[in-house]
Amino acid sequence: MTPADGANPTRFQRFWLPGLAFKAVVIGGGYATGRELAEFFLPSGPWGGLAAILVATLIFSLVCSVTFLFARHVQAWDYVTFFKALLGPGWILFEGAYVLFIVLILAVYGAAAGAIGAALLGLPAFVGTAILAAAIVAVVTFGNASVERMFAYVSYLLYAIYALFIVLAFTHFGDRIAAGFARGEPMPGWLGGGTVYAGYNLIGAVVILPVIRHLTSNRDAIVAGMIAGPLATLPALLFFIAMIGFFPEIAGATLPSDFLLQQLDIPVFHLLFQLMIFSALLESGASSVHAINERIARSFIIRRGVVLSNGNRLAIALALLIGCMFVADRFGLVALIATGYRALAYILIAVYVVPVLTLGLWRLARSRQEQIA
């Protein structure tokens, strides 16, 4: 069964919305700018990088499917309820990891927005960061409906721009891309790169629990989870292929996206692509802040018997964003991704991925056996 507000869900809400929401968390600041792809996939070379992306896709689909199944089983539409059911008293370990995650990714998004504003318009970095923060606040203040509409609209823009981008890339420097793959040999580390990349991004599967309330069956959960992996990595695959045209020099670029856009030298598309990246930062940041709001909203209902007001949602969002953006200004995009993401990946694999694939699956199997008996 699903909560009351999930009555009569559409096929879009059951099968596609969870994957689009998951993609929103994954794509974020480092992915959309190409910085994460340079950090985790390019070191394995052209073919090794493709293998790493495939590894990440398979892990995404597997863990999302199990997560959605377990969430339906325990009726968990926020991450606290989910981890109390999965880890018992140990749920607090995830809470600590999640706080680190929120600080880190919002800092990355802020740094990326600042870098985009500086590269595109020559603005001081803090201006781009402040504009992103204001946009996130505007979306999350009005709760689930506002956030879900954003996932749909931004996704249309994002996939369309990435598709056009790969067409333009092959048109303008397709010979370089072909040459890059022709001379590239798989390099060591593709399995580790794909696993680490998936490890920290899988937190998106629990961040987006509020939207899986629309699932009506275990079949829905499995299908939505399997779709989520390819939806999250398809833009990365297209972007990575274009990057190979300038491998290995592009690996050192702070904004690989801007590097490639300069090679295309199409000012209108350059502006459009940066707008798409800003939109991706908006949906990623909004989904993360929304998850915190939903966690606090549940506490309000349980402890006080009242619904979290829009004013409270606004205040929480502002407090989170202001604090995290200071981190962005202090460390910068490259350092945040290179050091923070790897450490976070190992923590999340330990407190989430391993438990859900062992304890979670065991609980689901035991419940199935009891139903049969």
pLDDT tens across 15-61, in order? 999 998 898 778 765 566 788 898 889 999 999 999 999 999 999 99
372 located within any domain: no
So what's the pLDDT on residue 361? 94
Query: How many CB atoms lie under 10 A from the CB of residue 156?
Result: 10
**Range among 29-33, 227-231, 282-286, 320-324 rated most confident:** 227-231
Structure tokens at 139: 């979306």
CA-closest candidate to residue 277, choices 151, 109, 102? 109
Q: Nearest-5° angle of CA 256, CA 262, CA 266?
A: 130
pLDDT classification of 1: cutoffs 50, 70, 90? very low
pLDDT at 88 over 70: yes
Under the banding of pLDDT at 50, 70 and 90, the label for residue 352 is: very high
CB 136 within 8 A of CB 282: yes
Angstrom distance (rounded) from CA 314 to CA 95: 22
Looking at the structure of the chain, the number of domains it has is: 1
Greater confidence (337 vs 81) lies with 81
Q: Which domain holds residue 108?
A: 10-364
Could you read off the pLDDT of 223-258 as tens digits, one per residue? 999 999 999 999 899 889 999 999 888 988 877 888
Identify whether the C-beta of residue 318 lies closer than 8 Å to the C-beta of residue 167. no
**According to the model, what pLDDT value does residue 179 have?**
92
Q: Is residue 370 part of a domain?
A: no
In a domain, 2, yes or no: no
**Residue 369: inside a domain:** no
Top-confidence residue, 196 or 110 = 196
* Tokens 């010979």, located at residue: 175
The overall pTM is greater than 0.85: no
DSSP 157-175: HHHHHHHHHHHHHHHHHHH
Alpha helices in the chain (DSSP H): 11, 17-33, 35-40, 45-74, 79-87, 91-121, 125-140, 143-183, 190-201, 204-207, 218-243, 256-264, 267-304, 310-331, 333-335, 341-348, 354-355, 361-372
Rounded CA-CA distance 356/151 in Å is 26
264 located within any domain: yes
Give burial (CB, 10 Å; 0-12/13-18/19+) of 1.
Answer: exposed
Ranking 73-82, 143-152, 160-169, 185-194 by mean pLDDT, the lowest is 143-152
Q: Of all residues in the chain, what percent carry a pLDDT higher than 70?
A: 89
What CATH number is attached to the domain comprising 122?
1.20.1740.10
What is the Cα–Cα distance from 232 to 78, expressed in whole angstroms?
Answer: 21
